Structure 1
Amino acid sequence: MGGDLLPLLPQEVIMKRGKRYQEAVKSYDKTVELDKAEAISQVKKNATAKFDETIEVHIRTGCDGRHAEQQIRGAVVLPHGTGKTVRVLVFAKGDKAEEATAAGADFVGAEDLLPRIQNEGWLDFDVVVATPDMMGVVGRLGRVLGPKGLMPNPKAGTVTMDVTKAVNDIKAGKIEYRLDKANIIHVPIGKASFTDEQLADNFQSLMDAIVKARPSSLKGQYLKSVTLAPTMGAGVKVNTTQFA
């Protein structure tokens, strides 16, 4: 590509974003950190797609996930749910399998599910719960479930004997948070159709849990940046001092 075309690339990229995106970006200063209420109001305005966009939170931390003591992983029940119907798969046997079915689990099984997942590529579920005695079986699916973030984990409450509570919490809006390889946490907190108050409640519940999960070994700044963003629209920076 000729050097004379390089200056045009940023504008070309902007044009590809679409008119709605461009108008949303023009309506506010993307470099300014807003308080929670202002950020939520703005991110709802930025959600201009023809479908009900998911509002996500992206938290860049000062953690180093390469150190086990600085790994962050947990779960929190959002007061108003995520706006998404969550499909739950439970690995259990006997009474616990019956309990999972009664609690509203979408799929319940044991070894019989292994070939379906391993060989047929069946992944029509969003969360996996397992009783502790089934983790030997679930462990065989590590290469399939692990990369997709679907492996049950005690810290997230998805390895438990209380399958009723696990299923009920997930259906009520329980979400899992964890650091990715870049030490960032990505979590949905609802839909653009939610009221400002519903998003604010969910956002605060998440941030309370994240602040509480700060590793004791971490020195320096914990919350480097917090951004709210709709599925297709521009992100909004949130002032982190209100969560200190």
Structure 2
Amino acid sequence: MERRGKAYRKAAEKVEADKIYNLHDALMLAVETNPAKFDASVEVHVRLGVDPRQADQNIRATVVLPHGTGKTVRVAVFAPEADAAKAKEAGADVAGEEAIVKLLDKGALDFDVLIATPAYMPKLGKYARQLGPKGLMPNPKSGTVAADVVKAVSEAKAGKVEYRVDKQAIIHLGIGKVSFGVDKLEENAKTFFASLQSQKPSSLKGGYVKSTAIATTMGPGIATENQVN
């Protein structure tokens, strides 16, 4: 704690160390204790009782947050020109085979989501090492390999986010900005928790969720009642 900044230490004093807060109170406290001078993200951190090395317990899914994340999502679409035109009408920032190849050849990954039609996926093989480490390689599980590019673009722009368990069996997900206010953050959080509940592996013998915490980008962690069984 001594190494933390003055603003962080002051914020942390408002969090009772041994208390587990209900979701609404945790979000209120997170907003109140945001030490940053900017509109920080509010994040959920969930430690699961799964083994990510097991294929059926390697949790990975998407969810459309009703109020989005507060971030501007730049969407690129790798598809035939006919689909590319529809994607642009739906709000894609860049679309089309030639346009995407030009960006990839330059190494200019100036987008947050890359959507590809199934037929065009093989053409991305040569860029896998470039896209994979940055989490930009289209994947059917994340809804970024899609025949219906209009729907995929619309969902990405509307607040569709992917979450996945890391090697430590923890899921980290931003559910909005401090400026959203508690009610919108709570709606987003509950939507995420409902999605996470639906991903519970049938083979899991122990508890699914071990602990849950809420925090802002630079704020203290707030232990929160588990919302998932």
Deviations 1:175-233 (A, max 9, x none): 11111122211111000111110000000000000011011111101111111111111
| Match in the other structure for 1:55 | 42
CA radius of gyration, larger in: 1
- Counterpart of 1:40 in structure 2 is 27
1:229 paired with 2:215, answer: yes
Matching residue of 1:125: 111
2-structure distance, mates of 1:37, 1:181: 29
Equivalent residue runs for 1:3-42 within 5 Å: 14-42=1-29
Counterpart-to-counterpart distance in 2, 1:181 and 1:147: 15
Report the TM-score, using the length of structure 1 for normalisation.
Answer: 0.89
Determine whether 1:243 maps to 2:192: no
Distance of 1:107 and 1:188 partners within structure 2: 25
**Larger % of helix: which?**
1
Q: Does 1:150 align with 2:150?
A: no
| 1:163-174 paired onto structure 2 within 5 Å | 163-174=149-160
Displacement of 1:66: 1.0
The structural deviation recorded for 1:111 is 5.5
Q: Which amino acid aligns with 1:34?
A: Y
Residue 49 of structure 1 and its aligned partner are, at CA, apart by: 0.8
- Give how far 1:62 is off: 1.1
Residue of structure 1 equivalent to 2:167: 181
Q: Is the 8 A contact 1:110 1:137 kept in 2?
A: no
Partner Cα distance (1:40, 1:77) in 2: 20
**CA distances 1:61-85 after superposition (whole Å, capped 9, x unpaired):** 1111111111111111101111111
Deviation at 1:115, TM superposition (A): 5.3
Contact 2:81 2:97 in 1 (8 A): no
User: 2:54 aligns to what?
Assistant: 67
Structure 1 residues not aligned, in runs of 5+:
1-13
Percent identical pairs in the alignment equals: 48
Correspondences of 1:195-214 after superposition (within 5 Å): 195-214=181-200
Name the amino acid aligned to 1:133.
A
Q: Distance in 2 between matches of 1:69 and 1:111?
A: 38
Distance 1:140 1:227 in 2: 39
The aligned residue for residue 76 of structure 1 is 63
Structure 1 pair 112–98 and aligned structure 2 pair: CA distance change class (3 A): closer
Q: Counterpart of 2:188 in structure 1: which amino acid?
A: N
One-letter amino acid matched to 2:175 = I
What is the identity, as a one-letter code, of the residue corresponding to 2:185? L
Q: Which moved more, 1:48-57 or 1:29-38?
A: 29-38
TM-score, length basis structure 2 = 0.95
* Superposed structure 1 runs of 4+ greater than 4 Å apart: none
In structure 1, give the amino acid aligned to 2:183: E
In structure 2, stretches of 5+ residues that fail to align are: none
Aligned pair partner of 1:104 in 84, 88, 91? 91
Q: Deviations over 1:88-122 (max 9, x none)?
A: 0111013211111111100113255335324x321
User: How far apart, CA to CA, are the structure 2 residues paired with 1:53 and 1:130?
Assistant: 31
Distance (Å, rounded) in 2 between the aligned partners of 1:77 and 1:112: 28
Contact preservation (8 Å) 1:72, 1:213? yes
**Residues in 2 aligned to 1:31 and 1:197: alpha-carbon distance in whole angstroms:** 25
Provide the alpha-carbon RMSD of the alignment. Answer: 1.4
1:8 alignment counterpart: none
